[in-house]
Copies of this chain bind each other. A is one copy, B any other.
């Protein structure tokens, strides 16, 4: 199999494709939430701020299909659906909760870095990027 999109993982699926699945922001947020406790659809929707019903449905479907989440339908009226991490999902939760914690605790630091960078190089504007010139390559 030709390594078009990345290192060949054990299944020949490009590593970049796997990473784009598990590194996805909604995946991180959903998995991190479910690692705390199983939840129903609307609970998740309220807890994962900013996610739409549609995106939540699609994300949960994908997570179920990948084997990270199991879905239980209860015969209530109307039916209620519970989502819970599988053991596989709990394994994924480990690096993801670490990543989410990093995001929570380091956003200000990123902001400061961006401000410093912009002060030095100018804001990333359409006309602010000079043309590449070897002798004038962006010198620090």
Contacts and interface: CB of A to CB of B under 8 A. Distances in A.
A56 interface: no
Nearest to A117: B65
A91 B97 CA distance: 15
Contact of A78 (B10, B92, B134): B134
A125 interface: no
A28 B110 CA distance: 16
A9 B107 contact: yes
Q: How many copies does the complex hold?
A: 2
A25 B16 contact: yes
A22 B103 CA distance: 8
Given A11-B108, A19-B25, A29-B19, A65 B103 contact: no
Interface residues of A, number: 72
Interface in A11-66: 11, 13-29, 48-50, 64-66
Kindly name the residue among A3, A67, A112, A135 whose own CB sees the greatest number of chain B CB atoms within 10 A. Answer: A67
Nearest to A47: B7
B138 A73 contact: yes
Given A95-B95, A95-B98, A14 B50 contact: yes
A110 B9 CA distance: 12
